[in-house]
Amino acid sequence: MKLWQKNTQVSQLVEKFTVGKDREFDIQLAPFDVLGSLAHVNMLFSIHLLTEQEYKSIEKELKNIYREIETGNFTIDEQVEDIHSQIELLLTQRIGEAGKKIHSGRSRNDQVLVDLKLFFRNEIEILTQNITHFFELLSSLSEQHQHVLMPGYTHMQIAMPSSFGLWFGAYAESLVDDLEMLLAAYRICNKNPLGSAAGYGSSFPLNRTLTTELLGFETLNYNVVYAQMSRGKTERCLAQALASVAGTLAKLSIDVCLFMGQNFGFFSFPDELTTGSSIMPHKKNPDVFELIRGKCNAVMSIPNELTMMTNNLPSGYHRDLQLLKESLFPAFKTVNDCIELASLMLNNIKLNTNILSDAKYDYLFSVEEVNRLVLEGVPFREAYKQVGIAIEAGKFTPPKNLHHTHEGSIGNICHAEIKQLFNEVLQKFSFEKVHRQLNKLVE
């Protein structure tokens, strides 16, 4: 079944090529297509395009279909083109002619758009919950190990003293900015395109404000042409947000792969969380973090991929946009899976708490000695020269007591402030409002 088909039979080759993987990805849109339709028919009834009897019949059956989807008793038939066709077909089969009326004032273009925005909004919520748990884990590790020292590096050379508290805390604060990116994407997703039809509105007196309220959107995509133009742009913004989270995970992963190696030996993981070699019996490989790194690097390529698919499209709908689902939909699972596995690993990390006792790290404290001399009144350049000469002569004896007190340093990591920043961003999402509105639709 095709919503657009008349009397002409489409070439099977053309049909296979144009449908592509739509059925595979559309099944993920199923509950959101029903939600969009529930809001739409409510609005159609309010403007007298449906009788009360028709509306109640459609609404009841849409809710039945929604429950079937929720319990896993729903499929898209092989001969049906997409999720939108499947739901309209089921309605018509079950309640008769009234089912054919639900498409009044609506195009597949705005139907797909509203499905996608509802789906993206839901995926953002799931990802936000996982990011929150990961942030809490990193914050806890930072507080727990804030006084355990480790080397800091610049140019991959030993630089200055750092701590595990700083290291874990850095990735926690990185998630604050990642959440800001996700919030920006959420705000773009949280605008209602329904009623824009094919991109040029409708001669029906549609009440787009009503569907906006019913679906828990914050506001409308007002201009009907821009509502259609937002497809592609929305996905690119969301891909950037996913790439930001992936960037944090990828950087953490390369750190772990380096620091657990024998040349560093900063920490280890239980044997059951690492893999071995088929030939070298001593190996404990960081395969989990290597795969997180690789998967997240792939996610970071998606914004460019989507840009290349959409940057030369004029206004209006184009079938190219169908392909965006194939890149973006799996990325949510990839990022969520990577967070889950990184959490498992870090929950079982075992730190080396005596790293800096090794003499090769003595030069980490050269800046501490320079600063000590400056505090005694020696000009900085003179203090720098004195310490440098001592190092070259092999006479440098490091002072290993630290006096870092400013905000964000080893002695003042600012856990509370970073948590406050995270929570301030988190509270700007309107998840509770969305749940209230959607629950009303399906009650």
Domain boundaries along the sequence of the chain: 15-101, 108-196+223-357+408-442, 359-392
Residue 48: phi and psi, rounded to 5, are 70, 30
Give the pLDDT confidence score for residue 442 in this predicted structure: 93
Distance in Å from the first CA to the final CA of the chain: 30
Residue 363 has pLDDT above 50, yes or no: yes
Residue 8 has pLDDT above 70, yes or no: no
- Residue holding tokens 């009834």? 45
Inter-axis angle of helices 164-189 and 224-259, to 10 degrees? 170
* Number of alpha carbons in the 13 Å side-chain half-sphere of residue 403: 8
- Residue holding tokens 């460019």? 304
Per-residue exposure over 348-360, b if at least 16 CB sit within 10 Å of its own CB, e if not? ebeebeebbeeee
Residue 5 has pLDDT above 60, yes or no: no
* Integer Cα distance of 357 and 315 in angstroms: 64
Residues contacting residue 76 through CB under 8 Å, at least 6 positions apart: 23, 26, 27, 30, 82, 83, 86
108-196+223-357+408-442 to CATH, choices 2.40.160.60, 1.20.200.10, 1.10.150.240, 3.20.20.70: 1.20.200.10
Find the range with the poorest average confidence among 101-105, 218-222, 358-362: 358-362
Average of per-residue pLDDT across 126-142: 98
Task: Enter the pTM of the model.
Answer: 0.92
| Cα–Cα nearest to 327, from 229, 226, 238, 251 | 238
Give the pLDDT confidence score for residue 1 in this predicted structure: 47
Average of per-residue pLDDT across 125-153: 97
* CB of 243 closer than 8 Å to CB of 302: yes
Q: What is the mean pLDDT of the chain?
A: 92
Average of per-residue pLDDT across 130-155: 96
Q: Which amino acid is at 42?
A: N
| Cα–Cα nearest to 151, from 348, 342, 419, 365 | 365
Residue 220: phi and psi, rounded to 5, are -100, 155
Task: Write down the CATH number for the domain with range 15-101.
Answer: 1.10.275.10
* CB of 405 closer than 8 Å to CB of 2: no
Give the pLDDT confidence score for residue 15 in this predicted structure: 63
- What is the chain's percent helix, strand, coil content, to nearest 5? 65, 5, 30
Average of per-residue pLDDT across 268-293: 85
Average of per-residue pLDDT across 17-45: 87
